[in-house]
Amino acid sequence: MMFTLWMTSSSSCAAVTCSERKTDYAFEMASSNIRYGEGVSREIGMDLQNSGARNVCVMTDKNLCRLPPVKAVVESLANCGVPFKMYDSVRVEPTDGSFKDAIAFAKRGAFDAFVAVGGGSVIDTCKAANLYSCHPDARFLDFVNAPIGRGKPVTGALKPLIAGKGPPRDVAVLAMLYRCLGDPPDGINFEPPPPVPTTAGTGSETTGVAIFDYEPLRAKTGIASRALRPTLGVVDPRHTLSMPARVAANSGFDVLCHALESYTALPYHQRAPCPPDPVSRPAYQGSNPISDVWARHALRVVAKYLKRAVGDPEDAEARSAMHLASVFAGIGFGNAGVHLCHGMSYPIAGHVKTHKADGYNVEHPLVPHGLSVVLTAPAVFGFTAPACPERHLDAAQILGADVSRVKPSDAGAVLADALRRFLFEMRVEDGLAAVGYRKEDVPALVRGTVPQERVTKLSPREHSEEDLTRLFEASMKLY
């Protein structure tokens, strides 16, 4: 039986859903609307004009602000007579400090809509600026995930936010506009404008998550709430063609791990605790039949097109396919969640010492997000396979392994080998040691992973600090 619910009046009722069970029994499907097509970034001005926006904040970074994606968006706004101010100081791999700077700009501007032109770093920064400008009395750690922050739920309305994927430097033009929850002015239709992504990795145009480096602990954390999720993602495949090869590779590795982790995550009906109210059900719910479809499809696209997309920047078919794969994987992990690879990646990125990544025009040391995630993948999936060997074998087969005679007990080794072979062919750095880490750094990396329980608790296999130590040690060298 199917029910349709219209919210027409307020009422109260007792929480009865989880009076007897400890784990969840349901999952939800949520995602942004997606608009895809060559040149759709030119429609953003019309979307904002239609929404009635009168004071727009455009966020990007200093690399991207000189490139065609930003020019296309700015021209679209100007042609439609939409007033805006530009913030171009987004930091690639943002920190709590860079978030706070963007938040201060947003508070001063009193904007009624936001446009993020860039990749995950830009989009996530814009999400945070929107959130805190709409909650001016909140302290920064109020909405940050526990245990680093207070993990308070987002209850107030946000302003429309347009985010869009665009071109290089780990930046995407993503246009997303959130429907205002309050009453719009007379005659104004607050239908949300679109997001336009440029890189093909984060899937941030589909998720309600904003990730940053928390510098006091030298570890990544984030803010997670469905209230941050864009209502429309504008995906313009033209903007991926200018992406440098290593940026395309690292963005693709993020897609790869999003798909693998969400497909192998703890099943939704095993996740605890069972929420006493549906509003308490987390965005990261565990693997489920709907997210599985998106994850497996994204993995197939990665297996078919990532090498081509990196090998030939002019291969429009491959670059466009990876652009869409980022969206597919984003829908998958945006509902299922990720687990150990991402949880372990946060201290890898946060503790970086001197490594400078090829293809990224930044002055600070950087281990790009996709690289920090994939370096532990062979060890992680070798570890998690006993919990769901059939899924690990399925993933290995998609990546090209012959699994016809493989025993379930060997699933982890087979997937790990398939990943190593794939990474070797993609010329990925030879493990954590190649990006500046040594065995004596492992305790700090473990300490940085422990607070990431929002994601690590979705590992299909329980783990201890000793297990994490072994996984980091095993990831020092890949080949």
* Tokens of residue 234, six digits: 């504008």
**CB distance 270 to 23 below 8 Å:** yes
Asked if 200 and 269 sit in the same domain, the reply is no
Cis peptide before 69 (omega within 30 of 0): no
**What is the span of the domain harbouring residue 266?**
245-474
Measure CA 163 to chain center. Answer: 13
Asked if 300 and 260 sit in the same domain, the reply is yes
For residues 217-239, average pLDDT: 80
Q: What is the pLDDT of residues 114-134, one digit of tens each?
A: 998 888 889 999 999 999 999
Q: Is residue 25 part of a domain?
A: no
Asked which of 222, 240, 258 is the last residue of a domain, the reply is 240
Asked if 194 and 250 sit in the same domain, the reply is no
* Tokens of residue 402, six digits: 């012959």
Q: Is residue 11 part of a domain?
A: no
- Which of 414, 255, 422, 398 is closest to 324 using CA atoms? 255
Q: What is the pLDDT of residues 40-51, one digit of tens each?
A: 888 999 999 999
Here the CATH number for the domain that contains residue 457 is 1.20.1090.10
Lowest mean pLDDT among 174-178, 383-387, 427-431: 174-178
DSSP state of 287: B
Q: Are β-strands 113-117 and 84-87 bridged in parallel, bridged antiparallel, or unpaired?
A: unpaired
Q: What is the dihedral of CA 309, 315, 317, 322, to 10 degrees?
A: 20
Q: Is residue 16 part of a domain?
A: no
Asked if 141 and 250 sit in the same domain, the reply is no
Higher-scoring residue by pLDDT: 199, 94: 94
Share of the chain above pLDDT 70, in %: 87
Helix (H) or strand (E) holding 164, with range, is strand 161-164
**pLDDT for 402 beyond 90:** yes
At 182, the pLDDT band (50, 70, 90 cuts) reads very low
**pLDDT for 354 beyond 80:** yes
**pLDDT for 340 beyond 70:** yes
**CB distance 75 to 101 below 8 Å:** no
Q: Is residue 5 part of a domain?
A: no
Number of domains observed in the structure of the chain: 2
- Which of 226, 224, 302, 223 is closest to 260 using CA atoms? 302
**CB distance 285 to 262 below 8 Å:** no
The amino acid occupying position 238 is: R
Q: Are β-strands 232-235 and 33-36 bridged in parallel, bridged antiparallel, or unpaired?
A: parallel
Asked if 274 and 353 sit in the same domain, the reply is yes
Here the CATH number for the domain that contains residue 234 is 3.40.50.1970
Asked which of 200, 219, 240 is the last residue of a domain, the reply is 240
Q: What is the pLDDT of residues 229-252, one digit of tens each?
A: 776 777 777 767 768 899 999 999
Q: Give me the pLDDT at residue 477, please.
A: 98
Asked if 161 and 288 sit in the same domain, the reply is no
Asked which of 224, 240, 256 is the last residue of a domain, the reply is 240
Cα radius of gyration rounded to whole Å, the chain: 21
Beta bridge partners of 162: 115
Asked if 51 and 160 sit in the same domain, the reply is yes
At 19, the pLDDT band (50, 70, 90 cuts) reads low
